A and B are shown apart, each in its own frame.
Chain A
Amino acid sequence: GAVVSQHPSWVICKSGTSVKIECRSLDFQATTMFWYRQFPKQSLMLMATSNEGSKATYEQGVEKDKFLINHASLTLSTLTVTSAHPEDSSFYICSARDRGLTYEQYFGPGTRLTVT
């Protein structure tokens, strides 16, 4: 149990285009999902917290108009990187908190974004 999927697993896009990444909890309901970004050889940096049915809360320094987050259901959150630039190239990982458990978070396999 407690499986989180991400789609796509990797994507290459041209500079200026937008890319949508999906995060799904497959066998549990997640009222809260988190989005992280990881640059090569660095740790994960929390970008935003996504709550089902409400606006996402962003960490300091993360542009909310650039990284659009939608958490429309208890099993799906999406991250859209708008007007992507090469510096947005990174590994994006989501995690989900099982509403039935207090603390455990489960992570998706990540999405590798390359902007050319």
Chain B
Amino acid sequence: SQQGEEDPQALSIQEGENATMNCSYKTSINNLQWYRQNSGRGLVHLILIRSNEREKHSGRLRVTLDTSKKSSSLLITASRAADTASYFCAPNDYKLSFGAGTTVTVRA
């Protein structure tokens, strides 16, 4: 399994602003998943995007996938304090490997 690399490592934004983070990976994939982890908790599955999809929405989340560049992005619109968490991408499906993640802090 391969792990994704999230960028930036940390992001601090004002409540109501948008937050964008990126994920890069090395080899071709069937799908890519994004997860959120609040401090001291397990991971919450946010969204799965398949290799034949370019964009997917779920509530305030928008995920894009560019297989030619081997990259994905996660956009959180109109951020809230509750969005403060670490976000991880996981390329492919069977065994998930996680990078360092992007730590997002939403300031009130």
Q: List the interface of chain A (C-beta within 8 A of B).
A: 2, 4, 6, 34, 42-44, 46, 49, 91, 93, 95, 102-110, 112
Of the residues A43, A49, A107, contact of B95 by C-beta under 8 Å: A49
Contact between chains at A34 and B40 (CB < 8 Å): no
Q: Report the separation of the CA atoms of residues A42 and B98 in the bound assembly, to the nearest whole angstrom.
A: 10
Contact between chains at A34 and B48 (CB < 8 Å): no
Describe A's contact surface by its main secondary structure: strand
Contact between chains at B45 and A109 (CB < 8 Å): no
Q: Report the separation of the CA atoms of residues A43 and B43 in the bound assembly, to the nearest whole angstrom.
A: 11
Contact between chains at A109 and B41 (CB < 8 Å): yes
Describe B's contact surface by its main secondary structure: loop
Contact between chains at A44 and B95 (CB < 8 Å): no
With contacts A43-B88, A103-B48, A107-B43 taken as known, whether A34 is within 8 angstroms of B96 at the C-beta atoms is yes
Contact between chains at B95 and A46 (CB < 8 Å): yes
Contact between chains at B95 and A110 (CB < 8 Å): no
Of the residues A4, A46, A107, A108, contact of B97 by C-beta under 8 Å: A46
Provide the residues of chain A in CB contact with B95, threshold 8 Å. 34, 46, 49
Asked whether any CB of chain A lies closer than 8 Å to the CB of B42, the reply is: yes
Provide the residues of chain B in CB contact with A91, threshold 8 Å. 40
With contacts A103-B48, A104-B48 taken as known, whether A110 is within 8 angstroms of B97 at the C-beta atoms is no
Q: Report the separation of the CA atoms of residues A103 and B47 in the bound assembly, to the nearest whole angstrom.
A: 11
Contact between chains at B101 and A103 (CB < 8 Å): no
